[in-house]
C-alpha cells in the first residue's frame, strides 16, 4: 500500500510538472511580446523622451492610471512635434477642457495588441478607437498612415499593449461641414456660398462619403466674389454648380473590386490622391485634375489657367448619421483658388 501511494504521488508530481511545462510552452508560443516585460504603456511612453505632451495630457485626464494596469491597448501616440504643430503645446494641455483632451487621447487608442504587421494596408481600412470614431489606415511607400498621419515608429512592446508613434494628431471630428468651416475665419465666403446655394443641409447630412475642397476667402475674391454681399447677390444656381465642382463623391473613389467595408477608398485623404482626373458631384464628365508631387497636392478645374494648392489637408467633419459605418467623417481640404468647371 505504501509503495502504491508513493507511485501515485510520484505520478501526480510528474503530471503537474508536465502541465506546467505545457502551459509555459503555450505562453511562449502564442504571446507576441517578451514575457519578461514589466513596464506598462504609460511607463514606456514616459521614457520615450519625445512623448512628454502625450504623457502630460494622459496625467491630466487620469488616463495614466488606466494605462498602467488596466486592459490591453494599442496606442498611436503623437510626438511632441506633432502636438505642437496641431497647436497643443505643453502649456495648452493644462488649459484645454478635460472632456476635449480626453476625447483627443482616446481617439489614439485601440483595443487589443496590434503590431504594424497586423495593420490592414487599406486603402482606408477601418479601425474604431476607444472614442468610437473611425481611423482609416493605408499603406503607401513603405509607410502606414492613419487618417493621413504617418506612423513613424512601430511595435514598442509593453506589459499591457503596443505603442506606436505618429507624426500628427488624430483629432476627432467636432462638427458638421459648415460648422467646421465656419470655425475658420478664412473660409467665411465659402460658408456664405454654401448657404446662398442652399447646399448646407445636403452637404452636412449626406450619407454619401464626400471629399470637399474649400477655397479660401482670398480665392473667392480672386474669382470675382469680393465679399459676402457679392456672394448673396450671385445666382444660387451658378454658385451651386461651382460648389458641386469642389466635391468628390465616393462613387469616384471606390474601387469596384473592393467590397469589404474594412478596405475601401470612399474618401480621399491627402495621401490617397494620385496624379489623375476625378469626377465631381457636378457630373461624371465634370472632372478636376489632381497632381501629386512628393507630399504636395494640387487640383485644377477644367477652366482654370493655373492649379490650386492644397494649403491645409485632412480636416475631418461629421457627415451623415453619426456612428454609421462609412458616413462619418467627411474630409475637408482647403485650397487657394476657386475651381472653375
Q: What is the model's pLDDT at position 164?
A: 98
Rounded to a whole number, what is the distance in angstroms from the first to the last CA of the chain?
Answer: 99
> Tens digits of per-residue pLDDT, 308-318?
999 999 999 98
Q: What is the pLDDT of residues 264-274, one digit of tens each?
A: 557 899 998 98
Q: Count CB atoms within 10 A of the CB of residue 13.
A: 10
Label residue 251 by pLDDT band (50, 70, 90). confident
CA distance 89 to 98: 15
Residue 124's pLDDT is 86
Q: Any idea what the Cα angle at residue 294 is, between residues 290 and 298, rounded to 5°?
A: 25
Q: Do 192 and 231 form a contact (C-beta atoms < 8 A)? A: yes
pLDDT at 185: 96
pTM: 0.82
- Cell (9 digits) for 137: 489606415
pLDDT for 24 beyond 80: no
Quick one: pLDDT at residue 126?
A: 87
Domains and CATH numbers, the chain: 41-166 (2.30.180.10), 177-335 (2.30.180.10)
∠ CA(137), CA(139), CA(141), 5° rounding?
150
Q: Is the dihedral of CA 248, 249, 255, 261 positive or negative?
A: positive
Statement: residue 150 has pLDDT above 60: yes
Q: Within its chain, how far is the Cα of 30 from the centroid?
A: 30
Strand ranges inside 26-124, DSSP E:
73-78, 109-111
User: Lowest-confidence range among 153-167, 234-248, 254-268, 322-336?
Assistant: 254-268
The answer, yes or no, to whether residue 222 has pLDDT greater than 90, is yes
Q: Do the Cβ atoms of 67 and 58 come closer than 8 Å?
A: yes
pLDDT of amino acid 319: 75
Contacting residues for 330 by C-beta, under 8 A, at least 6 apart: 177, 206, 209, 210, 211, 212, 267, 316, 317, 318, 319
498612415: which residue's cell? 145
pLDDT tens track for 173-219 = 888 999 999 999 999 999 999 999 999 998 988 777 889 999 999 99
Q: What is the pLDDT of residue 192?
A: 98
Q: Which of 102-116, 157-171, 248-262 has the lowest mean pLDDT?
A: 248-262
Share of the chain above pLDDT 90, in %: 67
DSSP state of 173: P
- Tell me: the pLDDT tens digits for 49-58? 999 999 999 9
Average per-residue pLDDT for the chain: 84
Q: How far apart are CA 158 and CA 35, in angstroms?
A: 10
Contact of 124 with 262, CB cutoff 8 Å: no
Strand spans (E) along the chain = 73-78, 109-111, 125-128, 134-140, 143-146, 149-158, 161-166, 210-215, 247-249, 276-280, 283-293, 296-300, 308-317, 330-335
User: Is 249 within 8 Å of 267 (Cβ atoms)?
Assistant: no
Apex CA 110: angle with CA 32 and CA 58, to 5°? 105
* DSSP per-residue codes, 77-111: EEPHHHHHHTT--HHHHTTS-HHHHHHHHHTTEEE
Q: What is the dihedral of CA 263, 266, 270, 274, to 10 degrees?
A: 90
Rounded to whole angstroms, the Cα distance separating 335 from 187 reads: 10
Q: What is the mean pLDDT of residues 118-133?
A: 89
Amino acid at each position: 500500500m505504501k509503495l502504491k501511494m508513493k507511485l501515485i504521488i510520484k505520478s501526480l508530481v510528474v503530471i503537474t510538472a508536465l502541465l506546467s511545462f505545457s502551459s509555459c510552452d503555450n505562453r511562449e508560443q502564442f504571446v507576441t511580446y517578451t514575457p519578461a516585460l514589466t513596464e506598462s504603456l504609460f511607463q514606456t511612453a514616459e521614457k520615450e523622451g519625445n512623448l512628454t505632451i502625450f504623457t502630460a495630457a494622459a496625467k491630466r485626464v487620469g488616463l495614466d492610471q488606466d494605462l498602467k494596469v488596466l486592459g490591453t491597448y494599442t496606442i498611436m501616440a503623437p510626438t511632441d512635434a506633432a502636438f505642437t504643430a496641431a497647436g497643443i503645446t505643453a502649456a495648452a494641455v493644462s488649459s484645454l477642457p478635460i472632456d476635449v483632451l480626453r476625447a483627443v487621447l482616446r481617439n489614439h487608442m485601440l483595443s487589443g495588441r496590434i503590431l504594424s504587421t497586423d495593420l490592414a494596408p487599406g486603402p482606408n481600412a477601418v479601425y474604431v478607437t476607444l472614442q468610437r470614431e473611425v481611423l482609416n489606415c493605408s499603406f503607401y511607400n513603405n509607410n502606414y498612415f492613419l487618417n493621413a498621419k504617418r506612423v513613424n515608429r512601430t511595435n514598442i512592446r509593453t506589459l499591457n499593449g503596443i505603442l506606436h508613434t505618429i507624426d500628427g494628431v488624430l483629432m476627432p471630428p467636432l462638427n458638421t461641414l459648415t460648422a467646421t468651416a465656419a470655425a475658420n475665419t478664412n473660409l467665411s465666403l465659402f460658408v456664405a456660398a454654401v448657404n446662398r446655394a442652399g447646399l448646407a443641409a445636403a452637404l452636412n447630412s449626406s450619407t454619401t462619403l464626400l471629399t470637399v475642397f474649400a477655397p479660401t476667402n482670398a480665392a473667392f475674391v480672386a474669382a470675382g466674389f469680393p465679399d459676402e454681399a457679392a456672394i448673396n447677390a450671385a445666382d444660387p444656381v451658378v454658385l451651386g454648380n461651382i460648389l458641386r465642382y469642389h466635391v468628390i463623391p465616393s462613387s469616384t473613389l471606390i474601387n469596384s473590386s473592393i467590397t469589404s467595408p474594412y478596405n475601401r477608398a470612399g474618401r480621399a485623404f491627402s495621401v490617397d490622391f494620385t496624379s489623375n482626373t476625378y469626377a465631381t458631384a457636378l457630373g461624371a464628365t465634370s472632372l478636376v485634375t489632381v497632381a501629386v508631387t512628393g507630399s504636395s497636392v494640387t487640383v485644377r478645374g477644367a477652366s482654370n489657367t493655373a492649379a490650386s494648392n492644397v494649403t491645409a489637408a485632412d480636416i475631418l467633419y461629421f457627415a451623415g448619421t453619426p456612428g454609421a459605418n462609412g458616413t462619418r467623417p467627411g474630409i475637408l481640404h482647403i485650397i487657394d483658388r476657386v475651381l472653375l468647371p
